[in-house]
Structure 1
């Protein structure tokens, strides 16, 4: 039995939570923007706080989307170059890639936590709505922790080991099965 399996399941659950959180942030932003649009149609004037409030969700969407794309292997990769390497060097390159990702995640956690602790400003969305800068700053170390958690997936995070022909055959078989139904 693989000892990392519980952590891999946790990584998958955390990824699903990140997806739901990103979708919620986008929906909240759209709701705020739609409210501003309806208010403008109804009254002819604008709500001053809608833009400021909506943009507070952008860091959450950006940082959490980064962790989601990493989990699905959708990050920037030099696949053609790496796949042309012999198998041994391919594993070395993949290991180095995971090490760089881990270093980046550790830096996000370390410097992100310092950034979070120092975030003392208050966003004045309106006279009544004031939001602490900590709301947007906390997403930096959280995303670093999520990336570190996703590293338990190992080489599955990298597309270097995906057999393109097997994927294409699987897609063709799935399509053939749907046509027969």
Structure 2
């Protein structure tokens, strides 16, 4: 158990970094698109590189968002079905779910690393701006590693074990405490 606490803190720290990177990618993508829009509005001609450069951020946003949603239990889950099972089967279903997530993460790392190594072509943004496809390909194995790291949280990643009534009571208590102060 002493090893899990630092790994969980590391997972939470990396999750915060992933959030910041995702927001930065979204802002960069919006900034580039807005720049292209303003240029077109002012000059009447389009910048050829804005659309291509903005697309570079999409894989980063998608894969990092996947790891963030997993950490907060917002992934696809069959909660209604699982909650209708008896308690021992819920644990079996949750363990199976975590095993499938781990397998998916391992496949992301395994095949993503090969994808990264074979991404030797250049992405043509414009005549003068060229970017290696490895810039976008590296996010595949990185997201797999992040998912594997998040698995140290165990059943806390799954919403099957969230006690709805306890959550509601906690929200009511925090709201009442804010109103008093």
Displacement after TM superposition at 1:85 (Å):
1.4
Tell me if 1:175 matches 2:166. Answer: no
Unaligned residue ranges in structure 1 (runs of 5+)? none
- Aligned pair count reads 181
Question: Secondary structure, in 3 states, of the residue corresponding to 2:136?
Answer: helix
TM-score by length of 2: 0.97
2-structure distance, mates of 1:28, 1:131: 16
Give, in angstroms, the shift of residue 180 of structure 1: 2.1
**TM-score w.r.t. length of structure 1:** 0.97
Partner of 1:119: 119
Q: Give the structure 2 partner of residue 156 of structure 1.
A: 156
Aligned mates of 1:137, 1:176 — CA distance in 2: 48
- Structure 1 residue aligned with 2:100: 100
Structure 1 runs of 4+ with >4 Å offset: none
CA distance in 2, matches of 1:173, 1:81: 30
Structure 2 counterpart of 1:89: 89
Name the residue aligned to 1:37: 37
Task: Please say if 1:13 is aligned against 2:13.
Answer: yes
1:78 alignment counterpart? 78
Provide the C-alpha distance between the structure 2 equivalents of 1:84 and 1:127, rounded to a whole number of angstroms.
59
In structure 1, C-alpha distance between the alignment counterparts of 2:52 and 2:41, rounded to whole Å: 20
What pairs up with 1:110-149 in 2 under 5 angstroms? 110-149=110-149
TM-aligned CA deviation for residue 3 of structure 1:
2.6
Long gaps (5+) in structure 2: none
